[in-house]
Amino acid sequence: MTTVSESKILTDTVEVSAVALIELLEGAGTHSSKDKSLRALNSVQLESVSGYLLARSTDRYRLIEGRIELESGDLSTTLVSFDDIKRVIAIAKEGKISGKVSLARIGDLLTVSINGSAITLTVLDANYPASFDDLLNKSEREPLGEIAFNPALFADYGKIAGKGNAVRVEFTGKGKPMIIHLPVTKVEWRALLMPMRVI
């Protein structure tokens, strides 16, 4: 007689506003690495925490975390490639008028559906930086020193904030990351911009 042992397969489902999801993923995607050889960084990390869907990304120079309210459900930590994030945005845009997007994870597959249309993606299995909270919540402050940063990297914050909205920058000291305060719309953002070394 053969005994089949039950294996625990991860199953999660969340439902969110399509318009809010589009804004969340477009904003988070600006900070993922464009270098496809860095699989873990050429991605966006999604997870639900205390009734919110969080999206995080970093390219080693910047990091950002946004959150939107969940309509329902829970989603464990899920890493989605940047190319697949663009596919999720496209399907969400197809049905944004009707409202809700469902994200269902079963094992290493994530199915995104809206209005009867669906796509299924394979989530990444990669080591993602775990220090987001440590970096974003660090309360050490030093007197302001000289700071240099790449304006091309800063330009993405204008896209996230939207036309006519201010972006506030908090300088925390020489050699320390700048805290970027973005206006809250459907998404609440937390972001850092790493300084450049002056040569």
* CATH number for the domain running over 11-125+135-193: 3.10.150.10
Alpha-carbon Rg of the chain, whole angstroms? 18
Which pLDDT belongs to residue 139? 57
For 26-91, give the DSSP string: HHHHTTS-S-TTSTTTSEEEEEEETTEEEEEEE-SSEEEEEEEE-SEEE---EEEEHHHHHHHHHH
Q: What is d(CA 43, CA 82) in angstroms, rounded to the nearest whole number?
A: 5
Other C-beta atoms closer than 10 Å to the C-beta of 15 total 18
Other C-beta atoms closer than 10 Å to the C-beta of 173 total 16
Identify the CA nearest to 58 among candidates 40, 46, 75. Answer: 40
Which pLDDT belongs to residue 42? 92
pLDDT in single tens digits along all 199 residues of the chain: 444 444 456 678 999 999 999 999 999 999 999 988 888 899 999 999 999 999 999 998 888 999 999 999 999 999 999 999 999 999 888 866 668 899 999 999 999 998 888 999 999 998 877 777 777 776 565 555 566 777 787 888 888 888 788 888 888 777 788 899 988 888 889 898 888 776 6
Classify residue 8 by burial, with Cβ atoms within 10 Å: 0-12, 13-18, 19+: exposed
Which pLDDT belongs to residue 16? 93
Q: What are the domain boundaries of the chain?
A: 11-125+135-193
Which pLDDT belongs to residue 165? 84
Q: Tell me how far the alpha carbon of residue 125 is from its chain's centroid.
A: 16
